[in-house]
Structure 1
Amino acid sequence: MVAVIEGLLSKDQVQTIAKRLFGAQFVDGSMSGGPLGESIKKNTQVSPQSPEYRELSQLVLGVLRQNDQVAITALPRRILSPIFASYVEGNRYGEHVDAALMGPYPGMRTDLSITIFLNDPGAYEGGELVMQTPFGEQVYKRPSGDAVLYPTHYVHRVNPVTRGRRLAIVTWMESMVRDPAKREIIGDLAEVMDRLVRDNADGESIRRVEKARLNLLRMWAET
């Protein structure tokens, strides 16, 4: 399931990140593209050794850990430090599947990927995030601060940028519930419970839905 999270980053947070990126050191992004990186990936990304990287990484990780929709949809157990990517005219990232394990050995299992858009669609042409889903090809080009959360096993690409500069943040999550179908069931129950609370439903209905959600989480979660 693909989830669009509107306003994951506030306007102030987007501006703060954009200002810090202006002076950051960018390096060749193909190094993070796996065995096919040099042939399918052409972009740049902020060096982890850049003075700005630690501050920006902590800001983004803090937002992800505190966001209710991320918590409900992803049930994150661990989140990798993000990549701050830049695509200028002619840059692209061809069709690929992200690595199953990332980070220091033995690695973190990657269940979910998230792309956070840092500039508005009018700032560049092309650069759409395109993924192959069970419902066909889906195309995303969101306003700054919005994010797209999707299963890491989906084949996806970033279309060539033909004008301007595309700035985005990408990172990966290991979920407490690795099966995407089970995560969706738990997330659906959480959304139903929230709606029941907003609609002032009777307490017994709320308790029964929450009981089902928590018992499934207890049954399926790996901590």
Structure 2
Amino acid sequence: MFTHSISGLFSSSEAQEVIRLSQRAQAASGGLVGGLHHHNIRRATIAWLDDGADAAWVMTRIVEGVARANRDCFGFDIAEFKERLQVATYDESDTGHYDWHSDIGEGPLARHRKLTIVVQLSEGEGYEGGALEINLGGTMLSAAREAGEAMLFASFMLHRVTPVTRGRRYSLTCWSHGPQFR
């Protein structure tokens, strides 16, 4: 299996703190691998958190969760975390979404992504739509909607966030890196 969930990686109050930290960072329109912007594919704002200072504990928790899941479930050759933490905001005002995609691409970092972790930051009842879905060869797996829940999957897997029709969804994403898949 190329997916794994972690229940309670963050508490609800910790998830709210990550949202607060992201609101202090400069938000930008979310792009695709390579920095392209196609709003028919992705409509979200993103903020990047530095893994030092106030957000160091967030990165530590992510690294520990990914290391444990990789050891227990995946066995991928992971060497490091080369990218900062990304907090995405999907809002009803612009029907925030991210159509089917994989996280591996031609970018210098994206070609080395091994595992993607997405942590639900919003409480599920705070929005409608906005489901994180992973395509398991034609079968769809929906990630948990409770704040603090995490979903890990191989970065080559197709996944999407369905359009948010009410409210706002926040999520935290990070990628681990290693030698390219062969």
Shorter-chain TM-score bucket reads: 0.7 to 0.9
Given candidates 95, 99, 104, the residue that maps to 2:104 is 99
Instruction: Indicate if the aligned counterparts of 2:84 and 2:174 stay in contact, CA closer than 8 A.
Output: yes
Which residue of structure 2 lines up, in the alignment, with residue 14 of structure 1?
A: 15
Residue among 138, 147, 156 paired with 2:159: 156
Contact 2:113 2:180 in 1 (8 A): no
Q: Which stretches in structure 1 are left out of the alignment for 5+ residues?
A: 180-223
- Normalised by the size of structure 2, how large is the TM-score? 0.79
RCO higher in 1 or 2 (8 Å CA, sep ≥ 6)?
2
Partners of 1:30 and 1:18 lie apart in 2 by: 20
How far apart are 1:93 and its partner, in Å?
A: 0.6
- Cα RMSD, aligned residues only: 2.7
Q: Distance in 2 between matches of 1:157 and 1:59?
A: 27
Q: State the shift of 1:66 in Å.
A: 2.4
1:143 paired to 2:141:
no
Which 4+ residue blocks in structure 1 deviate beyond 6 angstroms? Answer: none
- Structure 2 equivalent of residue 28 of structure 1: 29
Rg larger in structure: 1
Name the structure where strand makes up a greater proportion of residues.
Answer: 2
- Greater Cα offset, 107-116 or 24-33: 24-33
Instruction: Give the AA of the match of 2:68.
Output: Q
Q: Which residue of 2 is the match for residue 196 of structure 1?
A: none
TM-score by length of 1: 0.66
Alpha-carbon separation, structure 2, partners of 1:33 and 1:124: 30
Amino acid at match of 1:5: I
Contact 1:57 1:81 (C-alpha < 8 Å) held by counterparts: no
- CA positional deviation for 1:156: 1.2
Structure-2 change in CA distance of 1:116 and 1:56 (3 Å): farther
> Counterpart in 1 of 2:173?
170
* Secondary structure of the structure 1 residue equivalent to 2:79: strand
- Contact in 1 for aligned 2:21/2:55 (Cα 8 Å): no
Uncovered stretches (5+) of structure 2, i.e. residues with no partner: none
Change in CA separation of 1:23 and 1:45 when aligned onto 2, cut-off 3 Å: same
CA shift for structure 1 position 142:
2.3
Equivalent residue pairs, number? 172
Q: Any conservation in 1 of the 2:112–2:180 contact (CA below 8 Å)?
A: no
Aligned partner of 1:59 in structure 2 is 57
Instruction: Tell me how far 1:121 sits from its aligned partner.
Output: 0.8
More helix by share: 1
Distance 2:169 2:158 in 1: 20
